[in-house]
Amino acid sequence: MRIPIHREGWPFIAIFAVANVLIYLFSHVAALLFLPLTLWCIAFFRDPERSPPPGERRIVSPADGMLLPIVEAVPPEELGLGPAPRRRLSIFMNVFNVHVNRMPASGTVVALAYRPGRFFNASFDKASVHNERMSARLRPTGSTDPDADLAVVQIAGLVARRIVCDIAEGAQVRRGERYGMIRFGSRLDVYLPNSATIVVQDGSVTRAGETVLAEL
C-alpha cells in the first residue's frame, strides 16, 4: 500500500521526529510544544491521490492553492515561446497546501530550463520574473503547432530553497501526473496558448490535477 508522503519529505520528517524524542528526554512540556511542528512537517509533505476530470482538452491546475489575478505576461524567455504576452494563471501555495505539483496537460516536454534568482514572496507579481524558477514547455498531445504550446513554471518563494522537477526534455507526460514539488511555500505559473478558454476566476481555490483552469 502506498504511503501518501512524498519521498522528499522523509529526511525532514525523520529530523523533526528525532528532535521531538530528544526534547522529550529533557522536558515533556517542551516536547509537547514542539509536537505541532513535527505534525506540520508530516502534513506539508503529504501526497494524496488525485483523479483528473474527463476531457483531454482540459488544462488542470498544477498545484493546490489560490489563483492570483489573471494577467497578460511574457513567458520565460528561456523556453523560446517568443516575446508576445500570453495569459498567465498563477497559483500561490502557502505552507499549509499540498506542495506536490502535477502536469496541467498531456503531451511532450519540448523544452525544460532552470534559472537561478531571488526569493521574493511568491504572492508578489515580480516573483514570476525575478525568483528562482524551473520552466517547462509542453506541446499538447496531437498538436504539431508550436503556437499551441503552453508553459508551466515552478517558482521558489520567500522560504522555498529547493525546486524538485522529475521530468526531462522529450518526456511524454500525462495530465494530472506528479512531476515535482517545491519546499516550503511557492507558486506555479501557467502560460496559456491564445486558443485556450479560461474557465476559472481570480481567487479560486485550486486542487492539483483536478481543478480545470482552461480548455484548449
Instruction: Say if residues 111 and 81 touch (Cβ distance below 8 Å).
Output: no
pLDDT of 32-81, one tens digit each? 999 999 998 888 888 999 999 998 889 999 999 999 999 999 999 999 99
Active site residues per annotation: 186
Reported residue count of the chain is 216
DSSP assignment of 180-214: EEEETSEEEEEEPPTT-EE---TT-EE-TTTSEEE
SS3 151: strand
pLDDT of 102-120, one tens digit each? 999 999 999 999 988 777 7
Mean of per-residue pLDDT scores for the chain = 88
3-state helix, strand, coil in the chain (%, to 5): 20, 35, 45
- Single pTM value for the model: 0.86
Q: Compute the distance between CA of residue 106 and CA of residue 177 in angstroms, rounded to an integer.
A: 9
